[in-house]
């Protein structure tokens, strides 16, 4: 029977099917971090359980770490306590741990791929909803809760009903300055923030075929923002070239064997999906969000829609515009910006810094802007230095911070103050996500750079 | 055994008729620093519930003494966003045992069941009926009957059945969880792992 990429990976990982219940799914890779793992370890302890396969779990500190002075002790006692717990738990159970200060440290969804831990056809979970990032490699990757972290630690399995299947096709040619972030914000705006709930998405079509691995990760990362469990893209030559030579990638004979398998990981020509969507690349503009969920996005030349045009509930729509201090029919162009955040597992990879630098080069940071420029990992940080991007940033008046999740969830000190506007390359514009009262506009690294040098929301195409 | 058994719950309900309530609202990130599952209920809906000076916001439903009970009724697309189980812990710790909405985000729904909260998905029409009934009389009781998979507005007699798979239902009614189940599969998992490519 013809099957989809998703079916192939899912079905090959089912240990047991429970009648009128979920499938027991075997997990190849499990990432943990300091925030969602401590209670899981406590659970293990109280039940007297062991970690079944410690070599399949990888720990990093990222959510709650400072992005300056990482060599100093962490000041906040609760944060320090969480970091310590991760270190102690990892050591106790024999789990690899790249803590603060480790040259491999970085955001969990950035370090997996860049070290070859993430490989095509794997099942990957982590107690963070943007685990969907790893789907860029043809993996079934999704976020889980802490009880499930405990499940995976103790049994390397998770119990999930098989989701329905959706394919999103984007064909045609993208216009100037249209990035993967714009593509995914466009799709979410079309589908709404709950439009893919219950589904697992496959992205297909020319646009994704031509996209770099960094770009594919940005797209898959945001799958959860349309409600999907995850999103995936079939591995191809771009994928294999990216993986080859990475530290933990297979080598020699093992590589050949793996490659032969990876090449089978695609949707058969006559396989069917529960639902398909088709979009034309030419319709996609640089995108920005105006509301408090990622589905509330629009092309930069468009005006904020009315509640009726936007769909969804009127009460939450009004609440949202109120919170943002925006009005129906406003143009986003020229809106005041106070903060710019470049970073997160959505846009914290080298390509994003290249894009940002291409606009700020030869220009100066606008005086009214506070900018947080945060690489996704130390590896990215090093690339930024090696490629001369740091010099461009410094000359334009920007400082580079140290890796971590930072203002993406604002658990550390990187909080946007109440009432202030931020153009952010992260993934969520929820109320208070970037700090209590913070007002977030999600956009691409180009848009962030354009705002950073002009001080207002600006169409990046004018600066390229 | 991980939590109390759930069979039939009869209770008044707290109406939160807002759509797209995300887990960052249910529990903001700055309250996720604990290493123990304790006290999260105090910060449930923190920024909707309290002003900056920690005084309660009068117009928020949890601060209105008229509304109380073990059932939280939310608008469409409840629990979207972050995977933080802390959101479900906060709901549970505050005292809710059941959340009713016309649509739930996947991860939140899973997390609820894993901590012993029953998510009940009803039709849009029935949700409106519930909100109306509570508005008419805040002491209106709902009955959530898990064995029969039925939710009833006791004052009006309106009822609707809801879906849950047999496995999860069995877990909730017996207070079992997935870890109990998986522990019994140890050998099967070990032999599966031997065949795995990674
Ligand atoms: S950058 Fe944001 S979304 Fe990504 S792992 Fe960190 S907190 Fe989660």
Domain containing B143 — which CATH number?
A: 3.20.19.10
Chain A CB contacts of B111 under 8 Å are 145, 147
- Closest-CA residue of A relative to B184 is A155
The angle subtended at Cα B39 by Cα A152 and Cα A292, nearest 5°, is: 75
Total structural domains within chain B: 1
Tell me what pLDDT residue A93 has: 97
Burial readout A342-372 (b: 16 or more C-beta within 10 A, e: otherwise): bbbbbbbbbbbbbbbbbbbeebebbeebebb
A30 lines ligand 1 (CB under 6 A): no
Average pLDDT over residues A37-50: 94
Chain A CB contacts of B179 under 8 Å are 43, 47, 49, 147, 150-151, 154-155
The pLDDT tens digits of the residues spanning A261-297 come to 999 999 999 999 999 999 999 999 999 999 999 999 9
Banded pLDDT at A60 (limits 50, 70, 90) = very high
The pLDDT tens digits of the residues spanning A411-431 come to 999 999 999 999 999 999 999
The CATH number given to A5-160 is 3.30.499.10
Tell me what pLDDT residue A312 has: 65
> CA torsion sign, A337 to A339 to A343 to A344?
negative
CA A458–ligand 1 middle distance (angstroms) = 26
A311 DSSP 8-state letter: -
- Is there a domain that residue B3 lies in? no
Pairing of strands A287-289, A23-26: unpaired
| Residue A315 confidence (pLDDT) above 90 | no
* Domain A164-283: homologous superfamily in CATH: Aconitase, Domain 2 (3.40.1060.10)
- Is there a domain that residue B143 lies in? yes
- What CA–CA distance (Å, rounded) separates A195 from A3? 23
ipTM: 0.90
- CB-CB under 8 Å, A197 with B103: yes
A193 lines ligand 1 (CB under 6 A): no
Three-class secondary structure of residue A253 per DSSP: helix
| Residue B94 confidence (pLDDT) above 90 | yes
A405 lines ligand 1 (CB under 6 A): yes
| Residue B167 confidence (pLDDT) above 80 | yes
- What CA–CA distance (Å, rounded) separates B32 from B107? 17
Q: Percent of chain A having pLDDT more than 90?
A: 95
Domain A287-462: which topology?
Aconitase; domain 3 (3.30.499)
A349 lines ligand 1 (CB under 6 A): no
| Residue B1 confidence (pLDDT) above 50 | no
Q: Percent of chain A having pLDDT more than 70?
A: 100
- Is there a domain that residue B2 lies in? no
The three-state (H, E, C) secondary structure of B12-73, written as one string: EEEEECCCCCEHHHHCCHHHCCCCCCCCHHHHCCHHHHECCCCCECCCCHHHCCCCCCCEEE
The pLDDT tens digits of the residues spanning A127-171 come to 999 999 999 999 999 999 999 999 999 999 999 999 999 999 999
Rg of chain B, C-alpha, whole Å: 18
Chain A CB contacts of B105 under 8 Å are 194, 197, 227
Spatial CB neighbours of A240, under 8 Å, sequence gap ≥ 6: A259, A262
- Is there a domain that residue B19 lies in? yes
Tell me what pLDDT residue A1 has: 87
The phi, psi pair for A338, rounded to 5°, reads -110, -35
Choose among A117, A114, A63: nearest CA to A86: A63
Query: CATH 3.30.499.10 spans which residues of chain A?
Result: 5-160, 287-462
| Residue B166 confidence (pLDDT) above 60 | yes
B184 in reach of chain A (CB within 8 A): no
What range defines the domain where residue B54 resides?
Answer: 8-195
Mutate to test the interface with A, among B80, B89, B176 (most CBs of A within 10 A): B80
Please, are residues B2 and B176 in contact by the beta-carbon 8 Å criterion? yes
Tell me what pLDDT residue B2 has: 56
Chain B CB contacts of A296 under 8 Å are none
pTM across the whole model: 0.94
Extract the annotated binding site of A for [4Fe-4S] cluster: 345, 405, 408
A202 lines ligand 1 (CB under 6 A): no
Average pLDDT over residues A428-448: 97
In A161-197 the beta strands, taken as DSSP E runs, fall at: 164-171
- What CA–CA distance (Å, rounded) separates B181 from B190? 15
Tokens standing for residue A454: 């002009």
- Is there a domain that residue B127 lies in? yes
């Amino acid at each position: 029977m013809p099957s989809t990429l998703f079916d192939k990976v899912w079905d090959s990982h089912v240990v047991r099917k429970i009648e009128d219940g979920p499938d027991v799914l075997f997990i190849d890779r499990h990432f943990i971090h300091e925030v969602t793992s401590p209670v899981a370890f406590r659970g293990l302890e109280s039940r007297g359980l062991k970690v079944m396969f410690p070599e399949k779990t990888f720990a990093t500190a990222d959510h709650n770490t400072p992005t300056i002075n990482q060599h100093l002790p962490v000041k906040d006692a609760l944060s320090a306590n969480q970091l310590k717990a991760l270190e102690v738990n990892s050591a106790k159970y024999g789990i690899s741990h790249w803590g603060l200060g480790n040259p491999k440290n970085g955001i969990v969804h950035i370090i997996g791929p860049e070290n070859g831990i993430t490989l095509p056809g794997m099942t990957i979970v982590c107690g963070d909803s943007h685990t969907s990032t790893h789907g860029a490699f043809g993996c079934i990757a999704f976020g889980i809760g802490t009880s499930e972290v405990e499940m995976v630690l103790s049994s390397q399995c998770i119990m999930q009903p098989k989701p329905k299947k959706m394919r999103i096709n984007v064909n045609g040619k993208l216009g100037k300055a249209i990035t993967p972030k714009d593509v995914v914000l466009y799709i979410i705006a079309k589908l709404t923030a709950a439009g893919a709930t219950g589904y697992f998405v496959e992205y297909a079509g020319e646009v994704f075929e031509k996209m770099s691995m960094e770009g594919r990760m940005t797209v898959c990362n945001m799958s959860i923002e349309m409600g999907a469990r995850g999103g995936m893209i079939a591995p191809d030559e771009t994928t294999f070239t990216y993986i080859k030579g990475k530290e933990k990638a297979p080598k020699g004979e093992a590589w050949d064997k793996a490659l032969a398998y990876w090449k089978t990981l695609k949707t058969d020509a006559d396989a069917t999906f529960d639902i398909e969507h088709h979009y034309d690349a030419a319709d996609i503009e640089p995108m920005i969000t105006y509301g408090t969920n990622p589905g509330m996005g629009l092309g930069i030349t468009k005006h904020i829609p009315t509640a009726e045009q936007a769909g969804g509930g009127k009460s939450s729509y009004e609440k949202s515009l109120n919170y943002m201090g925006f009005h129906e029919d406003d143009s986003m162009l020229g809106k005041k910006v106070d903060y710019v955040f470049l970073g997160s597992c959505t846009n914290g990879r080298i390509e994003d810094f290249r894009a940002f630098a291409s606009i700020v080069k030869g220009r100066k940071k606008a005086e009214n802007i506070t900018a947080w420029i945060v690489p996704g990992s130390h590896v990215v940080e090093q690339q930024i230095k090696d490629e001369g991007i740091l010099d461009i940033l410094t000359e334009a008046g920007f400082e580079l911070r140290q890796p971590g999740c930072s203002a993406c969830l604002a658990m550390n000190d990187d909080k946007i103050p109440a009432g202030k506007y931020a153009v952010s390359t992260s993934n969520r514009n929820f109320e208070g996500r970037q700090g209590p009262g913070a007002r977030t506009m999600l956009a691409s690294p180009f848009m962030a750079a354009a705002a950073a040098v002009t001080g207002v929301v600006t169409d990046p195409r004018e600066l390229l | 055994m991980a939590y109390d058994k759930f069979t039939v719950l009869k209770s008044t309900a707290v109406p939160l008729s807002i759509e797209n309530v995300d887990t960052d609202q249910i529990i903001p990130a700055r309250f996720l620093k604990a290493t123990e599952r304790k006290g999260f209920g105090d910060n449930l809906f923190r920024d909707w519930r309290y002003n900056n000076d920690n005084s309660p916001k009068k117009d928020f439903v949890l601060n209105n003494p008229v509304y109380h009970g073990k059932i939280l009724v939310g608008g469409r697309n409840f629990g979207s966003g972050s995977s933080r189980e802390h959101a479900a812990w906060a709901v549970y710790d505050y005292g809710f045992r059941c959340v009713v909405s016309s649509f739930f985000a996947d991860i939140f729904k899973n997390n609820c069941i894993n901590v012993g909260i029953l998510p009940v998905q009803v039709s849009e029409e029935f949700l409106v009926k519930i909100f109306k009934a509570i508005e008419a009389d805040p002491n209106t009781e709902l009955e959530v009957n898990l064995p029969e998979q039925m939710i009833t507005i006791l004052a009006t007699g309106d009822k609707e059945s809801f879906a849950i798979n047999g496995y999860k239902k069995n877990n909730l009614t017996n207070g079992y969880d997935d870890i109990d189940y998986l522990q019994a599969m140890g050998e099967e998992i070990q032999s599966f792992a031997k065949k795995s490519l990674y």
